């Protein structure tokens, strides 16, 4: 019979990994949101400078284009570093990849079904019938009548 305790330990590790993964996703989304806000404010500032006549429209467009080009390169670099760091964390803490986790979850489900089946069979069995004992009326009378001394 497979070691059920081992599988439950794997489930606990999987849950910890999922929590960590979700936290990292939230962090990345927050970073993306911050970058989007900064980009909008930068572009708005450049447009304001153009409207006030402090820089020409052509120069403003060039500045904005360069900014977004650099931002894209920075984003690609960040994604690459993030992926590498994530892989290092997974390797360092010996966390299982998603494919392995899914495979283990399927195995656990099968094992749980196997554990449930014998229990279900035991509850559906009827107890063996008791053998009927014939008692004679004399035996019953002796058992019922008071003893006289």
pLDDT in tens, 64-105: 889 888 888 888 888 888 888 878 877 787 777 778 888 888
Reference 10, options 23, 18, 136; nearest CA is 18
Q: Does residue 81 lie in a domain region? A: yes
Q: Give me the pLDDT at residue 4, please.
A: 61
Q: Does residue 80 lie in a domain region? A: yes
Task: Give, in order, the Cα–Cα distances in Å from 60 to each of 56, 67, 131, 139.
Answer: 6, 11, 102, 116
Q: Give me the pLDDT at residue 94, please.
A: 74
- Length of the chain counted residue by residue: 149
Taking a C-beta distance cutoff of 8 angstroms, is the pair 144, 137 a contact? no
Q: Give me the pLDDT at residue 149, please.
A: 45
Query: How many domains would you assign to the chain?
Result: 1
Q: Does residue 20 lie in a domain region? A: yes
pTM over 0.85: no
| Domain range for 74 | 4-144
Q: Does residue 149 lie in a domain region? A: no
The DSSP 8-state label assigned to residue 55 in this structure reads S
In tens, the pLDDT along 28-64 reads 788 878 888 888 898 899 889 889 998 898 998 898 8
Taking a C-beta distance cutoff of 8 angstroms, is the pair 95, 14 a contact? no
């Amino acid at each position: 019979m497979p070691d059920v305790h081992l599988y439950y330990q794997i489930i606990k590790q999987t849950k910890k990994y999922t929590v960590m993964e979700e936290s990292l996703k939230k962090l990345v989304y927050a970073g993306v949101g911050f970058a989007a806000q900064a980009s909008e404010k930068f572009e708005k500032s450049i447009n304001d400078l153009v409207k006030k006549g402090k820089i020409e429209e052509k120069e403003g467009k060039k500045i904005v284009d360069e900014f977004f080009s650099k931002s894209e390169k920075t984003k690609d670099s960040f994604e690459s570093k993030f992926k590498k760091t994530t892989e290092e964390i997974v390797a360092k803490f010996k966390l299982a990849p998603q494919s392995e986790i899914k495979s283990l979850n399927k195995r656990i489900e099968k094992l749980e079904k196997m554990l449930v089946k014998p229990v279900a069979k035991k509850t559906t069995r009827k107890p063996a019938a008791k053998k009927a004992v014939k008692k004679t009326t004399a035996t019953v009378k002796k058992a019922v009548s008071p003893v006289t001394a």
